[in-house]
Structure 1
């Protein structure tokens, strides 16, 4: 923590230098770092003051005046109160020092795909798309459909959406993985419960300066938009397929009416996938990167189960079960996500050296 305090003082000094003011990009970067460190430094100084006061009270207990019973009792009570205050401030400081994911404030790209279960899996993927759309609306985030492949019954083979909002990644990153549903499908005539899955990948949106694409590394193909049928199928070759040759990543986008719009959306998705790939290489974590997030779609890899007959939603990572499944499917995810955030904080606190 002393290192953080020294860095904070260094930032304050550099922000007051003429050469910093002359470089707007540097000034913004240092100012952002300054504001991010300020709460922790203020809490650290308050904790240090509380420890000083505690030490002073303990020193009084060893003085000659403390031989007086009433005075000694008063000092002991004061020591107890100051020790509790110092402990409370220490806990607050630890929470501020919990390492944050550098992408937590980012908007996201979400990819939803049907997994095991045929048409019912596609219908469940559609239900998840609706759930996240309503959750984004509840949070006043902007959700935009970038790519959609549907089945004839209205299911979703694959949907790619962008969710723009402050802190979207800090919440939605917990949705990465295999989601399992247990319910009686609309297509089931004998009332049997089916188990199906869908996969979700959540990628922090990449900025162009982070992932620079060399056009020599891209193969861009055009083709006609496809769909379940009807008059809305595009009769011109406006759909775009972008292949990133070094990695083999392929992105298709056909929702917009022009090639240029579809190309821009496809490149946005590609940059986010490449950023996630870079993050996976750097951190080597199980949930970093698109492939690690979604797995194979097998039921055994599930992170969450939506059981309609029992009206329950169970998150298997933390053993949390909530009821009122209709509320969850209508975008009421905060109870589950709040618990996942607290679990993550507790894990990081346990690893924090203080």
Structure 2
């Protein structure tokens, strides 16, 4: 590990020289690539420097402890410092192991989130609305921007489907663990007998895809336009501004009618279609790996039940890591950081096991 860290430090310093070179700066595409690589290495190199400094201080304290000419007070101080430095060095080693884990290339990207009401009728639609609000509030707390792409209302305040983009640095790294089936247990307002009903909604979190990564062949896409409609006659356009994009080879269909402009609706529909096709491609490529890898945070299969929101008990439980949080009200207001941190930690621990095997 130390040899690899020393190599990365040399590479980091070399990149620093290159991005200051006028010839490289003139080639903006190359310069941006090198700047990103330099930026990605910075956290590892900074932590490695802290580790090296601690190792040096530890060695000096050891020398004082065994120096026969040193007085007792100085030796006592060195002894205390050695204990503190041993803990610090071990901590740095663990942090460096995590920093050296292979990075998900999509981690820094914006995301497209798709929420769909599942079993449970109107109650499932209301729960889909709760999840939309929860993720929107969380995004706001992170300083990210939420952009609605498509909403299909149920007519009772819920949603059959909600598609939206969250734009922010590292959005995918935080939200990728949310893909799966979310189950809710609560007493509906229409339930006179006080019985608890169970319903569900599915969540899909897709990284935004650019043209360099995935080239969508428009000859394989059929575009249809139609007149948009809203519940109760609202948002009804007099022109055919809504857009339906169909990927003919796979049969994947995306409709978008949130914008008044047909051009904007088409742009959004194609963005979602591209993300779905890219996700499908990645899922197929990783299918064999996923079968062999028993991950603590689950396979990411969207049919898999990942979490239960129990209103009578005021708790939310993630079944992949067996974590229960008894603050359901604040959780649904976007206070989901503790759960996300626990999922990231669990995933890192599982990856560390695989590296060490």
TM-score by length of 2: 0.84
The answer as to whether partners of 1:311 and 1:325 remain within 8 angstroms in 2 is yes
CA distance, structure 1, for counterparts of residue 266 and residue 311 of structure 2: 40
Q: 2:254 maps to which residue? A: 251
In structure 1, runs of 5+ residues without a counterpart are none
Query: Are 1:273 and 2:280 counterparts?
Result: no
Aligned to 2:39, the other structure's residue is in SS state: helix
2:318 to 309, 315, 318: 315
The answer as to whether partners of 1:108 and 1:164 remain within 8 angstroms in 2 is yes
Q: 2:217 maps to which residue? A: 214
CA distance, structure 2, for counterparts of residue 75 and residue 226 of structure 1: 76
Q: 1:126 maps to which residue? A: 129
Q: 1:110 maps to which residue? A: 113
**Could you list the per-position Cα deviations for residues 154-180 of structure 1 after superposition, in whole angstroms to 9, with x for gaps in the alignment?**
321111011112222222212111000
Query: Are 1:295 and 2:302 counterparts?
Result: yes
Aligned to 2:130, the other structure's residue is in SS state: helix
What displacement does 1:113 show? 0.2
Q: 2:18 maps to which residue? A: 14
CA distance, structure 1, for counterparts of residue 77 and residue 332 of structure 2: 57
Pairing 1:330-345 to 2, within 5 Å after superposition: 330-345=333-348
Q: 2:148 maps to which residue? A: 145
Q: Cα distance 1:351–1:73, how it changes in 2: closer, same or farther (>3 A)?
A: farther
What displacement does 1:193 show? 1.1
CA RMSD of aligned residues (A): 3.1
The answer as to whether partners of 2:64 and 2:70 remain within 8 angstroms in 1 is no
TM-score by length of 1: 0.85
Q: 1:135 maps to which residue? A: 138
Q: 1:26 maps to which residue? A: 30
What displacement does 1:141 show? 2.0
What displacement does 1:269 show? 0.9
Q: 2:295 maps to which residue? A: none
Query: Are 1:192 and 2:195 counterparts?
Result: yes
CA distance, structure 2, for counterparts of residue 166 and residue 203 of structure 1: 15
What displacement does 1:12 show? 3.3
CA distance, structure 1, for counterparts of residue 153 and residue 61 of structure 2: 71
Q: Cα distance 1:118–1:71, how it changes in 2: closer, same or farther (>3 A)?
A: closer
The answer as to whether partners of 2:229 and 2:235 remain within 8 angstroms in 1 is no
CA distance, structure 1, for counterparts of residue 156 and residue 77 of structure 2: 76
CA distance, structure 1, for counterparts of residue 276 and residue 192 of structure 2: 41
What displacement does 1:68 show? 10
**Could you list the per-position Cα deviations for residues 82-107 of structure 1 after superposition, in whole angstroms to 9, with x for gaps in the alignment?**
54443233233234324332222221
Aligned to 2:188, the other structure's residue is in SS state: coil
Q: Cα distance 1:222–1:294, how it changes in 2: closer, same or farther (>3 A)?
A: farther
Larger mean Cα displacement after TM superposition, 278-287 or 310-319 = 278-287
Q: Which runs of 4+ in 1 moved over 4 A?
A: 52-61, 65-76, 78-82
Q: 2:179 maps to which residue? A: 176
Aligned to 1:195, the other structure's residue is in SS state: strand
Equivalences, count: 344
The answer as to whether partners of 2:204 and 2:302 remain within 8 angstroms in 1 is no
Q: Cα distance 1:35–1:245, how it changes in 2: closer, same or farther (>3 A)?
A: same
Q: 1:93 maps to which residue? A: 96
Larger mean Cα displacement after TM superposition, 90-99 or 35-44 = 90-99
